[in-house]
């Protein structure tokens, strides 16, 4: 991950929203209508009727985070509408929750690259995942990870005066706790270690390949060699070892017609035939 071109110095928020928890975003998705606009107050009231208490501020932040992830779009100044991506994610949350959690993790991690390196919160999310992956199976204290993230942000973006929220590490951890199979090892609800994921969804494998194309700036239908350095780029995203990632990409190529694997003199290459859109995965 590289810094942006020089620009006037200004404070830029790099924090991942911790008030917009996984549960709050998932519940907001569950009540969102396909054809009706909604605002923070209507979300709060609807969830209260379902027995789930949420503050107005938390509802606002959940809608804002959902917008950043492409689940909602602004309809008016204060109202939102569900997007096609939001509809797909709502369906996955109901019927294939492990895939939903993989996709939400992907969006949080990959938006930095997919969105033209403008969403600094996504840079922070991906960097924390890299730290967790590098330090496995140990988990450093939040303060230590926060210090590493702050130093890395200041070094990578010297012209932006990065502001990293102290709750960012906890916010990322909350999302990673949702993954199945798990990356974190928990005892009595507390993180005690991390572990390589034994497998993950074929949907995440397909999305991971699309991430490679974006990160490399390569057009679809261009073969990408699946050598070790290339696949290692995906380890912090998939939170799995190289061999496991290659195996899941091969499985995804047999599942999705838009992706092929070719084996030649130099090894295996993957070819993505078209851009990947979240709605096609639901």
pLDDT digits over 194-246, tens only?
999 999 999 999 999 999 999 999 999 999 999 999 999 999 999 999 999 99
**HEC string of the chain?**
CCCCCCCCCCCEECCCCCCCCHHHHHHHHHHCCCCCCECHHHHHHHHHHCCCCCCHHHHHHHHHHHHHCCCEEECCCCCEEECHHHHHHHHHHHHCHHHHHHHHHHHHHHHHHHCCCCCHHHHHHHHHHHHHHHHCCCCCCHHHHHHHHHHHHHHHCCCCCEECCCCHHHHHHHHHCCCCCCCEEEECCEEEEECCCCCCCHHHHHHHHHHHHHHHCCCCCCCEECCHHHHHCCHHHHCCCHHHHHHHHHHHHHHCCCEEEEEECCEEEEEECCCCCHHHHC
279 vs 115, residue with greater confidence: 279
Boundaries of every domain in the chain? 22-95, 96-194, 202-281
CB 183 within 8 A of CB 194: yes
Average pLDDT of the segment spanning 254-272: 92
- 62-79 residue pLDDT tens: 999 999 999 999 999 899
Structure tokens at 238: 């998939």
At residue 92, the pLDDT reads 97
Residue 81 pLDDT > 90, yes or no? yes
Q: Say what the pTM is.
A: 0.93
At residue 2, the pLDDT reads 45
For β-strands 259-264 and 267-272, DSSP reports them as antiparallel
- 13-46 residue pLDDT tens: 888 989 999 999 999 999 998 989 999 999 999 9
At residue 11, the pLDDT reads 66
Residue 248 pLDDT > 60, yes or no? yes
Residue 264 pLDDT > 90, yes or no? no
At residue 161, the pLDDT reads 84
- 132-161 residue pLDDT tens: 999 999 999 999 999 999 999 999 998 888
CA atoms within 13 A on the CB side of 169: 17
Structure tokens at 10: 């200004």
At residue 163, the pLDDT reads 85
Residue 8 pLDDT > 80, yes or no? no
At residue 282, the pLDDT reads 85
CB 70 within 8 A of CB 61: no
CATH of domain 22-95: 1.10.10.10
2 vs 92, residue with greater confidence: 92
CB 150 within 8 A of CB 162: yes
Residue 100 pLDDT > 80, yes or no? yes
């Amino acid at each position: 991950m590289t810094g942006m071109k020089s620009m006037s110095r200004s404070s830029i928020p790099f924090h991942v929203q911790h008030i917009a928890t996984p549960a709050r975003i998932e519940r907001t998705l569950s009540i969102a209508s396909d054809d009706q606009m909604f605002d923070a107050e209507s979300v709060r009231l609807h969830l209260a009727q379902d027995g789930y208490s949420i503050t107005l501020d938390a509802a606002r932040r959940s809608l804002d985070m959902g917008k950043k992830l492409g689940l909602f779009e602004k309809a008016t100044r204060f109202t939102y509408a569900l997007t096609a991506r939001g509809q797909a994610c709502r369906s996955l949350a109901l019927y294939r929750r492990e895939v939903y959690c993989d996709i939400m993790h992907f969006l949080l991690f990959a938006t930095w690259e997919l969105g033209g390196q403008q969403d600094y919160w996504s840079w922070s999310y991906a960097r924390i995942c890299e730290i967790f992956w590098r330090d496995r199976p140990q988990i450093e204290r939040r303060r230590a990870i926060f210090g590493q993230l702050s130093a890395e942000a200041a070094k990578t973006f010297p012209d932006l005066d990065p502001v990293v929220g102290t709750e960012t590490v906890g916010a990322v951890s909350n999302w990673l706790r949702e993954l199945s199979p798990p990356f974190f090892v928990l005892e009595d609800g507390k993180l005690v270690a991390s572990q390589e994921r034994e497998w993950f969804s074929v949907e995440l494998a397909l999305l991971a390949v699309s991430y490679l194309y974006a990160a490399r700036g390569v057009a679809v239908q261009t073969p990408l060699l699946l050598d070790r350095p290339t696949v290692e780029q995906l380890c912090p995203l998939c939170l799995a070892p190289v061999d496991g990632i290659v195996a899941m990409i091969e499985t995804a190529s047999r599942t999705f017609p838009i992706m092929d694997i070719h084996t030649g003199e130099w090894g295996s290459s993957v070819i993505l035939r078209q851009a990947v859109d979240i709605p096609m995965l639901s």
